[in-house]
Amino acid sequence: MRNVVTMCCLVLLVSSVGVFASECDPDVRAPIWINGDHEFTAENGVVGGTGTPSDPFIISGLKIDAGPCDYGIRVERTSSYFEIRDIEVSGAAKAGIYLSYTENGTVIGCRLVANWSGIVINFGSTNSVSECTFESNTDALHAYFSHDNHIAENVFTENRTALWFDACHDNTVTANGFLDNHTAVFLDLGSSGNILSRNAFFDNLHHAQAATPNQWSCDGVGNYWDTYSGLDIDKDGVGDTPYVIQVQDNEDTSPMMSDPRVID
């Protein structure tokens, strides 16, 4: 009997807290969990789309305070095309946005603040993350066993680790800004074949760590490193000596002398 009463009290308490939160800020909604293509529904925040390349499912314009939940938006085992755009997620115990076994997903224009991980991609492929802001997360973007994803035009600021790949390959990372992070890029567990170019690294304690070779330039354009001390004698905007990431054969062969994100 005591357990029943305690459970009833907890239900009433949780319900009253939810009502109070919505009354205080009606724009804040509860976390979202989509498990399979059939769960792209209005109840799960979908505001449009049919899941095709030309008409992806859309989840947009939300503010999610995930605390103390594990995830803000959780999408698993999907192959439909979808976009998560203009979303703000904070306080997630595991990940603000969690993509697991997903294909064809786009996260664009989102703000991830003070989560354990801002975005996690787990066994994902052909997803893209662009124009997002990551601030004060433990891990801003952490990918596991993922390939052929596109990470572009994001800003990573004051995260413990900004971009972390575990056993990931053939992803592209381009035109991102990494500022004031403890570690900007960490490529681990044999991550290789990833292309990182046109990124800018400013005031990070560690710009990049990678024990296996990856490609740090593309079509003669590398990255900007504020600790690069080489010269550009021919004034072509590219440093004359490589920027060594961690070991030989893992280096930026075309380090840029200015921020490549503003080069036409």
Q: So what's the pLDDT on residue 262?
A: 61
> Cα dist. 42→32, 70, 156 in Å?
11, 22, 31
Instruction: Express each pLDDT in 54-64 by its tens digit.
Output: 999 999 999 99
CA distance 129 to 141: 9
Classify strands 32-35 and 71-78 as parallel, antiparallel or unpaired.
Answer: parallel
Q: Which domains does the chain have, with CATH numbers?
A: 25-223 (2.160.20.10)
Q: So what's the pLDDT on residue 11?
A: 33
Which residue type, as a one-letter code, is found at position 261? R
Q: Which residues of the chain have pLDDT under 50?
A: 1-24, 26, 263-264
The pTM assigned to this predicted structure is: 0.89
CA distance 97 to 240: 40
Q: So what's the pLDDT on residue 25?
A: 52
